[in-house]
Amino acid sequence: MRTDTLRYNYPYQANRAAIYRVLVQEQLAYFQRTDPAIKALSPGTTIKAHLATKMSKKPTRDYMMVKEMIPNERFQLETQQPAGSIIQTFEFTKNRRDKDVLAYSERNVFDNNRSQANFMLFGLLYKFFYNRGVRKRMTYLDHLAQTATN
């Protein structure tokens, strides 16, 4: 794994298509909170967001864009921040035991070497909180997908 990328693999229980559908619905709801005119997501759909940075926790004005949508395979977002960008990817794959997993990753690309080095150091500490937060999010999506198909 790259040093600029955080990754978490979640072994899901629901149907793959149901999880993908719920993931897109949840992301659409997030985009609509910022821009109610958005009716559907497609590659290129963009919003202006106010997000806190991981390292300084200061709110910044960012642009979040749907980068890629491959139904039941991959959903990718890119967030442009003043110091660089974050590429978030949800990807359906298999783990070493050939079990289905939904892998979530965040690739952090910074405009300068100092920020990149700071993130790599901070990333080691952040990984624990990252895993905990992503696990909760994935469990939520999995649960929604299971209840939607029942």
Which CATH number does the domain housing residue 21 bear? 3.30.530
Report the candidate in 124, 87, 117, 92 with the shortest Cα–Cα distance to residue 105.
Answer: 87
Rounded Cα distance, 130 and 150, in Å: 30
pTM of the model: 0.84
The H or E element spanning position 99 is: none
Range of the domain at 141: 5-43+68-76+83-149
Residue 22 inside a domain? The answer is yes
CA distances to 24, 38, 46, 104, 146 from 43, in Å: 12, 13, 9, 18, 26
Q: Return mean pLDDT, the chain.
A: 85
DSSP-based three-state secondary structure for 49: strand
Residue 49 inside a domain? The answer is no
Average pLDDT, stretch 110-116?
64
Residue 53 inside a domain? The answer is no
Number of folded domains that form the chain:
1
- Residue 58 has a pLDDT of 66
